[in-house]
Amino acid sequence: MSGKALVTGAAGFIGSHLCERLVSDGWSVTGIDSFTDYYDPQRKRMHISGLAGSKSFSLVEEDLNSCDLAAHLEGVSCVFHLAAQAGVRRSWGAEFSHYIDSNILATQKLLEAMKDTGIPLVYSSSSSVYGDTRDLPMREDHVTSPVSPYGATKLSAEHLCELYRVNFGQRYVALRYFTVYGPRQRPDMAFSRFIKAALGGGEIEVYGDGKQTRDFTFVFDALEANVLASRYEGDWNIFNVGGGSRSSVLDVIEIIRRETGGDPPVRFMEKARGDVLDTWADTTKAAGELGFSPTTGLEEGLRREIEWYRDHS
Ligand code: NAD
Ligand code: UGA
């Protein structure tokens, strides 16, 4: 499938890669991004700069909550909704209003604009909807009980997709990504911070004892899941998108030391509120119904992220 795509969050870490992937697959892409200052907007401009001269890409610098979505939806055959206030640990306190605006209100506004168009939606959800469970690996039919305000907003948006399906026939696929990494990874995320310390001589801060585990997903595997989801013919579904590279934070630091040759000191801090202990994606459903199969393992993926940081620091 190709045609015209609308990508929200187009200048972000995953969104910018997705725009490039869709353009190279023959799609004509409109990307919307409001360049929030959650991290340096200049960095987002750099993410999207490679598409600047492309006839198949146009960038709309607007907030989903105030732009004319109906106009941007004209002629579109699939919407990939990635715009969000991401980040688990900063979602407490006064910051929460940004999470409500970008994750809940913006999704509701998008669904309102889409509800009678017949255009399918691919929504970027999150493993954080599951919360802290001992019942591993996480399956799509497990109880959802987020432990961070961020996770609560990502789950609310999934619920909104379902409400618009039941009431208005809005088709959607929700992709629950598990800790995505690779070139352009957000600067607040663990690998970015660790690599920066290893290359630049700083210190690594570990929240908790470092034995917490994540099912890390290389960004190109997350893109593949989006492409496969755009071809999904059913009315709706929810799929885990994991990389099959479950490791602890301490294991990751070891690989980064080895690959960079750096030996940054590690400081252990208090466990962060809202962080889950472990994630582990059961991707059987995505494999069976989408044909999803991640291809990049942790060591190779980390090498590619380190290489990107070397080129961009
Ligand atoms: P990101 O912050 O790099 O990208 C999000 C983009 O959305 C930003 O460029 C931001 O400017 C834009 N944006 C935010 N609010 C907006 C609004 N109201 N209107 C228009 N644009 C807006 O984050 P990312 O890591 O690329 O995450 C992309 C999506 O994937 C998010 O929905 C996130 O919740 C989800 N997700 C990410 C991960 C991960 O590990 N990175 C894991 C699970 C889920
Ligand atoms: C990531 C994304 O940032 C979220 O947007 C996403 O929704 C979530 O994955 C998901 O899977 O749904 P997180 O797993 O916290 O969240 O990703 P990282 O920031 O890479 O953190 C991984 C682990 O490293 C966490 O346990 C965190 O506490 C730890 N960490 C992070 C540190 O020990 N030190 C740091 O400096 C940063």
Tell me how far apart the alpha carbons of residues 227 and 245 are, in angstroms, rounded to a whole number: 21
Structure tokens at 57: 């890409």
**pLDDT for the residue 245:** 84
pLDDT grade, residue 96 (50/70/90)? very high
Tell me how far apart the alpha carbons of residues 2 and 28 are, in angstroms, rounded to a whole number: 8
Tell me how far apart the alpha carbons of residues 309 and 288 are, in angstroms, rounded to a whole number: 35
Structure tokens at 246: 């479950």
**pLDDT for the residue 313:** 79
**What is the chain's mean pLDDT, rounded?**
97
44 close to ligand 1 (CB < 6 Angstrom): yes
Give the domain CATH number at 259.
3.40.50.720
177 close to ligand 1 (CB < 6 Angstrom): yes
Which ligand is closest in space to the CA of residue 189? 2
Task: Please give the torsion angle defined by the CA atoms of residues 169, 173, 176 and 181, in that order, rounded to the nearest 10 degrees.
Answer: -140
How far does the centroid of ligand 2 lie from the alpha carbon of residue 108, in Å?
26
Helices (H), 106-263: 106-114, 149-168, 190-200, 219-230, 249-260
Q: Is the pLDDT of residue 199 over 90?
A: yes
Q: Is the pLDDT of residue 2 over 80?
A: no
Q: Average of pLDDT values for 287-294?
A: 98
Give the predicted TM-score (pTM) of the model: 0.99
Of 124, 176, 179, the one to substitute when testing ligand 2's pocket (max ligand atoms within 8 A of C-beta) is 179
Nearest CA to ligand 2 atom 23: 190
**23-45 core/surface letters (b: 16 or more CB in 10 A; e: else):** beeebbbbbbbbbbebbeeebbb
Nearest CA to ligand 2 atom 1: 179
204-229 residue pLDDT tens: 999 999 999 999 999 999 999 999 99
127-146 residue pLDDT tens: 999 999 999 999 999 999 99
Phi–psi pair at 90, nearest 5 degrees: -95, 10
pLDDT grade, residue 178 (50/70/90)? very high
Q: Average of pLDDT values for 43-47?
A: 98
Return the active site residues.
Answer: 150
104-124 residue pLDDT tens: 999 999 999 999 999 999 999
How far does the centroid of ligand 1 lie from the alpha carbon of residue 88, in Å?
12
How many domains is the chain partitioned into structurally? 1
Nearest CA to ligand 2 atom 30: 190
Q: Average of pLDDT values for 142-157?
A: 98
pLDDT grade, residue 1 (50/70/90)? low
How far does the centroid of ligand 2 lie from the alpha carbon of residue 87, in Å?
8
Tell me how far apart the alpha carbons of residues 142 and 13 are, in angstroms, rounded to a whole number: 28
Full domain range(s) for residue 60: 4-312
Q: Is the pLDDT of residue 298 over 70?
A: yes
CB 185 within 8 A of CB 247: no
Q: Average of pLDDT values for 228-249?
A: 97
